[in-house]
Amino acid sequence: MIKNTKCECGHQNPVGTVLCESCGKPLDPDLPLDSPLEMRYDGAARRSQKANPAVIDRIWNFFSSVKIAIYLIVLTLIGAALGTIYPQESTFINLDDPGKYYKETYGTWGTVYHALGLSRTYESWWFIGLLVMIGTSLVICSLDRVLPLYKALSKQQVRKHQTFIDRQQTVYASELAAEPNEWIERFGKQLKRKRYKVWTDGTALLAEKNRFSRWGPYINHIGLIIFLLAVLGRGVPAWHMDKYIGVDEHQTVQIPNTNYYVQNEKFTVEYYKDEELPDKLKGTNRAKLYRTDAKLYTCTKYCNDDPLHEPELKEVEAHAIEVNSPLSYKGLNLYQYNYEERVRLIEVKPMLVDSTTGESYGPFDLPMNDPPPSVEAGPYKLTLSAVFPDFGLDAQGRPMTKTRDPNNPAFVFVVTGPGLNEKGEMYIYFPMPSGDDKAVQKQINDSFKKLGSNTGRFSFQVGKMENVSFSQYTTYLNVRVDRAMPYVWVGATISMIGLVMGFYWQHRRIWLRIDDGRLSLGAHTNKNTYGIRSEVASALGKCGVAVEPKTLDNRRSSS
């Protein structure tokens, strides 16, 4: 059945129009008769109200519904809440067997939680799906409404249908003794003083202000869409890097897969002193500062693991990285993430001591990383025969290294030189100043002696502290690249502008007509009806029509 959509004022309206686009007469016969009119989108027809929808139209209609949008919001809300019941897997840095962890820590419920995939809620297909659907709904809802609304607001008629005026939220009607044209002019002036734009058409008047606030929600939605797209954009691998690196003091480490090197010059941790703490916290270690004095380098030559050359580095940035103060260089950010107090030797300068003569030779340089294959100490030559960066004994009691980190280094040297036989003498050396290590060192050297590998003539000694350079702390830095961030901030800013426009200003319109000495006034606002009532009452009052703001409320007089 084809509906006649032509209004009695002669305007041809699209299907689905609720209020005539031109004169405002209610067209939908199903509207409740005595309540104020629904003024959403000024009663204009939306694309989603098209007759005989095709498939595309059906999808469009689905996403254009505010009801669906609310369902999506509520489902997302519930999903997000479920994800906070137990910690997410992503909060653990290394969790080898998540299923086992949830079972052991949280029992049966933990098992169920993990099995349902709720331990990865925010990466799950359904949660991301919900966010994508919200994004779609934002686009379609906005387009479906903003265009008809824009059209309706840009072609408003001054003289509205009597029913349209009488059925606004805010209404007033009375006999008017004054001369209509003159009174309308006076009333218009009053409204202009309240910063309304006023149009008149004979004895009809339209006053409007803050129309721009109607665009607030749509601007907010545009901002949210940009924000959501930017968040999805973070999934592009080239746009995103998230790595953790540990750097000892004085150490320079390459940032994996980049041309950058970072050096930890010094790490500082400070605690509050007792006099700075309230009584209850005295004696506790309350952290005051974590700081890595860092330098960032780029590699200019011999970068790709050239076996012959050390890479050549150029300093590009230096910054004291603190919590809340990352180092930033061309989109690369280094954050203070963690630290560990762990003494690690960097270099020692030991002396070779001859116990038969009491004479000592050296000192010679012994860096823990990449020690040279041989060094000279006085007339003697020390050839490195084995290195154990993290010394330990295996199940058979043989020396081995537990890790590749220089936690407890041990060096085996073969000493050759004057007065020694050709094969030389073999000694193990533990540079760490720990009693345990010294005991092990003695034990092993004694067993070498038994085997005839040495005579026990030599030992190593580091005399003064200045012959030892060590790192006390390892700092852990979080390396981040996030090329989508500018778009995230742009989206958030636009969204915020839209919110402020939409919530802190209200679109207000007043229609008025005088027919045969009878004045009818209707006014509408999308928010803050209280405000528009007092404005109307005050303008009427200044034109000789005394009225209480409350009595203008159509909802109340009708209920």
Nearest distance from residue 427's CB to other proteins, in Å? 32
The only residue of 187, 290, 430, 473 in contact with other proteins, by rule CB under 8 A? 290
One character per residue 102-141, x = contact with other proteins (rule: CB under 8 A): ----xx-------------xx-------------------
Nearest distance from residue 344's CB to other proteins, in Å? 19
Task: Examine residue 325 and tell whether it contacts other proteins (CB under 8 A).
Answer: yes
The only residue of 119, 251, 474, 495 in contact with other proteins, by rule CB under 8 A? 495
Q: Which residues of 504-525 are buried (b: 16+ CB within 10 A; e: fewer)?
A: ebbbbbbbbbbeeeebbbbbbb
Lookup: tokens for 462: 């580091």
Nearest distance from residue 436's CB to other proteins, in Å? 18
Cβ count near 273 (within 10 Å): 10
CA distances to 78, 81, 88, 105, 327 from 108, in Å = 22, 20, 17, 9, 44
CA distances to 262, 266, 388, 421 from 404, in Å = 20, 23, 8, 34
The only residue of 150, 272, 361, 505 in contact with other proteins, by rule CB under 8 A? 272
| Residues in binding contact with other proteins, number by CB under 8 A | 66
The only residue of 59, 173, 236, 323 in contact with other proteins, by rule CB under 8 A? 323
d(CA 412, CA 400): 12
Asked if 384 contacts 368 with a C-beta cutoff of 8 angstroms, the reply is no
Task: Examine residue 558 and tell whether it contacts other proteins (CB under 8 A).
Answer: no
One character per residue 410-449, x = contact with other proteins (rule: CB under 8 A): ----------------------------------------
Q: Which stretch binds other proteins (CB under 8 A): 79-87, 159-167, 435-443, 460-468?
A: 79-87
d(CA 3, CA 11): 14
Task: Examine residue 236 and tell whether it contacts other proteins (CB under 8 A).
Answer: no
Asked if 158 contacts 204 with a C-beta cutoff of 8 angstroms, the reply is yes
d(CA 402, CA 79): 45
Q: Which stretch binds other proteins (CB under 8 A): 171-179, 205-213, 450-458, 497-505?
A: 497-505
Q: Which stretch binds other proteins (CB under 8 A): 298-306, 308-316, 460-468, 493-501?
A: 493-501
The only residue of 49, 76, 203, 383 in contact with other proteins, by rule CB under 8 A? 76
Residue 451's Cβ-count burial label (10 Å; 0-12, 13-18, 19+) is exposed
Q: Which stretch binds other proteins (CB under 8 A): 55-63, 85-93, 253-261, 442-450?
A: 85-93
d(CA 351, CA 335): 41
One character per residue 1-40, x = contact with other proteins (rule: CB under 8 A): -------------------------------------x-x
Asked if 64 contacts 46 with a C-beta cutoff of 8 angstroms, the reply is yes
Asked if 106 contacts 89 with a C-beta cutoff of 8 angstroms, the reply is no
Provide the terminal-to-terminal Cα distance of the chain, rounded to the nearest Å. Answer: 37
Q: Given the structure tokens 């098209």, which residue do they identify?
A: 50
The only residue of 492, 538, 545, 547 in contact with other proteins, by rule CB under 8 A? 492
The only residue of 90, 181, 551, 558 in contact with other proteins, by rule CB under 8 A? 90
Asked if 204 contacts 498 with a C-beta cutoff of 8 angstroms, the reply is no
Residue 265: strand, helix, or coil: strand
Q: Residues with Cβ < 8 Å from 320, sequence gap 6 or more? A: 291, 292, 293, 294
Asked if 297 contacts 316 with a C-beta cutoff of 8 angstroms, the reply is yes
Of residues 501 and 543, the one with the C-beta less far from other proteins: 501
Helix (H) or strand (E) holding 189: helix 180-193
Residue 58's Cβ-count burial label (10 Å; 0-12, 13-18, 19+) is exposed
Q: Given the structure tokens 């004694």, which residue do they identify?
A: 446
Task: Examine residue 324 and tell whether it contacts other proteins (CB under 8 A).
Answer: yes
Asked if the bond preceding 36 is cis, omega within 30° of 0, the reply is no
Interactions with other proteins, residue window 182-201 (CB under 8 A): none
Nearest distance from residue 85's CB to other proteins, in Å? 8
Task: Examine residue 547 and tell whether it contacts other proteins (CB under 8 A).
Answer: no
Helix (H) or strand (E) holding 375: strand 374-377
The only residue of 496, 517, 548, 551 in contact with other proteins, by rule CB under 8 A? 496
Task: Examine residue 393 and tell whether it contacts other proteins (CB under 8 A).
Answer: no
Of residues 130 and 313, the one with the C-beta less far from other proteins: 130
Nearest distance from residue 318's CB to other proteins, in Å? 19
d(CA 49, CA 3): 13
Task: Examine residue 77 and tell whether it contacts other proteins (CB under 8 A).
Answer: yes
Task: Examine residue 258 and tell whether it contacts other proteins (CB under 8 A).
Answer: no
Task: Examine residue 88 and tell whether it contacts other proteins (CB under 8 A).
Answer: yes
The only residue of 504, 518, 548, 557 in contact with other proteins, by rule CB under 8 A? 504
CA distances to 241, 287, 289 from 267, in Å = 24, 14, 10
Nearest distance from residue 530's CB to other proteins, in Å? 6
Task: Examine residue 70 and tell whether it contacts other proteins (CB under 8 A).
Answer: yes
Task: Examine residue 66 and tell whether it contacts other proteins (CB under 8 A).
Answer: yes
Nearest distance from residue 393's CB to other proteins, in Å? 17
Lookup: tokens for 130: 């919900």
Of residues 145 and 159, the one with the C-beta less far from other proteins: 145
Interactions with other proteins, residue window 140-179 (CB under 8 A): none
Of residues 147 and 492, the one with the C-beta less far from other proteins: 492
Per CB under 8 A, residues contacting other proteins are 38, 40, 66-67, 69-70, 73-74, 76-77, 80-81, 83-85, 87-88, 90-91, 106-107, 121-122, 231, 242, 272, 276-281, 286-290, 322-326, 333, 335, 337, 478, 480, 482, 485, 488-489, 492, 495-496, 499-500, 503-504, 527-530, 550, 553, 555-556
